[in-house]
Amino acid sequence: MGKKTLKIYDITVPFSENLPVWPGDPRPKVARFMNMDQGDAANVTGLEMCVHTGTHVDAPVHFVKNGSGVDQLDLNICVGLCEVVDLPDVMEITRRDVDGLDLPEGCSRLLFKTRNSQAWVNPAHTFIEDFVAFSPDGAQAIVDRGIKLVGVDYLSVQKFSDLEPTTHQILLGAGVVALEGIDLREIDAGSYMLHCLPMKIVGSDGAPARVILSRDE
């Protein structure tokens, strides 16, 4: 049998000014305010963005009054074994979908691959309103199954058409880390090691994150 090698998958969406943003959020700006091509001694880049742009993590305070900020998230939740499940045909993720999953015993990190991931073929696409996300009962099923981190392949765990932030409140109120905006196009369903490291922004309701999966192959 050949020697196994560690395969690393970067599931972070490439960050640029052209990324889709939630309607009403400011567009990201990336610009060099020092430029060697213009005679400066160094290249130095400035960044202006909403913390919920691209691949990012939500903290409880995003929808829970007096909730904790992203700097207080437990990295033991953000790093460890996870399961990727593939639901290519669903329009929303309901309790029936979550309850029907055959997960390993003790699974606490769960990433959902849906039709959303195909949007990241073009990271500069126009915001998609009918993306796949959780219904409130689907979110409650995540909590009931003891999941501590849930990841989705578009910009929110909550449907764009929802009138109330119930899904967010259920997940964040239970201390579930919401990982949003991941690209799972090249990822097969199965078990991986997850490394999700959000920027440590004091008191913030969210933060951009570099996220990878790895496993022996």
Residue type, 156: S
Tokens of 4: 């196994």
Given this model, what pLDDT does residue 1 score?
Answer: 58
Given this model, what pLDDT does residue 149 score?
Answer: 98
Distances (CA, A) of 124 to 20, 55, 167: 6, 14, 27
Given this model, what pLDDT does residue 4 score?
Answer: 86
Residue ranges in 174-215 assigned as alpha helix (H): none
Q: Is 52 a catalytic residue?
A: no
Q: What is the pLDDT of residues 173-211, one digit of tens each?
A: 999 999 999 999 999 999 999 999 999 999 999 999 999
Given this model, what pLDDT does residue 205 score?
Answer: 98
Q: Are 213 and 91 in contact (CB under 8 A)?
A: no
- pTM for the full predicted model: 0.96
Tokens of 178: 């919401």
Low-confidence ranges of the chain (pLDDT < 70): 1-2
Given this model, what pLDDT does residue 47 score?
Answer: 96
Tokens of 156: 């929110």
Catalytic residue among 52, 56, 62, 168: 62
Given this model, what pLDDT does residue 148 score?
Answer: 98
Would you call 140 helix, strand, or coil by DSSP? helix
